[in-house]
Amino acid sequence: MNQVRILIFDADDTLWKNNLYYETARSEFIALCKQYSQTQNHFDRIFDELEWQVVQERGYGSKNFIYILETLFKSFPFLTASKSAGKDYKGIMDRFVKHTSQPPELFDGVHTTLRQLSDKYTLAVLTKGDTEEQNRKLNNSGLNLLFRKTYVVPEKNLEIYQSILTTERWSPDHVCMIGNSPKSDINPALQAGMWAVYIPYPYTWKLDDEPVLSAHPRLKQLSRMDELGHYFG
Domain regions of the chain by residue span:
6-16+104-232, 19-101
Residue 177: pLDDT over 90:
yes
Q: How confident is the model at residue 120 (pLDDT cuts 50, 70, 90)?
A: very high
Rg, C-alpha atoms of the chain: 19
Which residue type is seen at 85? A
Q: CA separation (Å) from 227 to 112, 178, 233?
A: 11, 12, 10
Q: Give CA–CA dist 153/126, Å, rounded.
A: 8
The number of beta carbons lying within 10 Å of the beta carbon of residue 57 is 8
Q: Residue 175: phi, psi to the nearest 5?
A: -120, 135
The reported pLDDT for the residue numbered 29 is 97
pLDDT score for 2: 79
Question: What percent of the chain is predicted at pLDDT more than 90?
Answer: 88
pLDDT, tens digit (0-9, with 9 covering 90-100), for 2-32: 799 999 999 999 999 999 999 999 999 999 9
Helix (H) or strand (E) holding 65: helix 62-75
Residue 1 and residue 176 in contact, taking contact as beta carbons nearer than 8 Å = yes
Residues 74-99 have pLDDT tens digits of 999 999 999 999 999 999 999 999 99
Fold of 6-16+104-232: Rossmann fold (3.40.50)
